[in-house]
Amino acid sequence: MELGFIGLGKMGMNMVTRLRQEDHRIVVFDRAANLVQEAEAKGCIGASSLEDLVSKLSTPRAVWVMVPSGAPTEETIETVSGLVTRGDTIIDGGNTKFHDDLRRAATLQQSGIHYVDAGTSGGIWGLQIGYCLMVGGEAEAVQRLAPIFTTLAPPKGWTHVGGHGAGHYVKMVHNGIEYSMMQGYAEGFELMSKSSYNLNLPQIADLWMQGSVIRSWLLELGASALQEDPKLEHLKGYVQDSGEGRWMLMDAIEKDVPVPTLSTALFTRFRSRQEESFAEKMLAALRNAFGGHGVKR
């Protein structure tokens, strides 16, 4: 099948590489010309601009957008929508808020352009093991893209989960669960690191991968990290968030659904990015004021 692909970052480059392994015709564009050249070496057809990319595709066209979420995705889709024609399809494979999918789909439908949202999970390992794809949009548009999804995903690794926005909605919840799982592992390993038993954390992480109830790919990655650096001394405890945890928390509040585990995990990430917390200074000031407890100046 033929596909235009915009965005050749870590995931994008691996995705077009995987697509070329099954001989799909892939036309690529990225602002970084060296990345386009790298993709060409893998058998892709390079484009010098978005206009050039669209001109090299036959109708009905399909264009996959894989650029950073927010303004870059919004601007790219807006530009591409002015270049494609009725019957073409734009796929957003990034981390987009599902409300934006609904708005875009409604706007594009007025011009007869199809819109598909593809929640994509797999990270930098997707090239080897495939990407789990949660796909939203009209059934007709999704089905036409089935060969692309089938190549990108492992066996049984993609499904059409619902209408416009459903793909990114399911991916949002997926990432919220991911936050919570990571936090659970982090807390458990911190407690063991303080134990008087002088526990071998890499060994325990590997042990838990052998049939235990809490085995997972995340734990496998944790075991690898601990093997390389048992005390994680080369890392700072700074943890970024990409937005989905916030969106899931807001959606849960709107629906009166309690998500305390996600809340804790998300707020812990916020705290990790503060060198010193004003709230903790306030606590120290209050304890000192009412009880004369010691403080560090």
Residue 65 near residue 48 (C-beta atoms within 8 A): no
pLDDT at 125: 84
pLDDT at 124: 79
Sign of CA dihedral 164, 96, 19, 45: positive
pLDDT along the chain (297 residues), means of 10: 96 97 97 97 98 98 95 97 98 96 98 97 89 97 98 97 98 97 97 97 97 96 95 92 94 97 96 92 90 75
* Tokens linked to 95: 């981390």
Q: Which of 40, 217, 39 is nearest to 126 (CA)?
A: 217
- Residue 171 among the catalytic residues: yes
CATH number of this structure's domain 2-163: 3.40.50.720
- Dist. CA 162–CA 209, nearest whole Å: 34
- What single letter denotes the amino acid at residue 186? A
- Residue 178 among the catalytic residues: yes
- Dist. CA 116–CA 93, nearest whole Å: 9
Choice among 2, 138, 178, 220 that is catalytic: 178
* Tokens linked to 18: 């995987």
Every domain of the chain with CATH number 1.10.1040.10 lies at 171-276
- Dist. CA 289–CA 293, nearest whole Å: 8
Choice among 38, 97, 171, 244 that is catalytic: 171
Q: Kindly give the residue spans of alpha helices, DSSP state H, lying in 22-70.
A: 33-41, 50-55
Q: Which helix (H) or strand (E) holds 148?
A: helix 146-152
Every domain of the chain with CATH number 3.40.50.720 lies at 2-163
CATH of 171-276 among 1.10.1040.10, 1.10.10.10, 3.40.50.2300, 3.40.50.1820: 1.10.1040.10
Q: At what angle do helices 217-228 and 201-208 cross, to 10 degrees?
A: 160
- Dist. CA 54–CA 4, nearest whole Å: 7
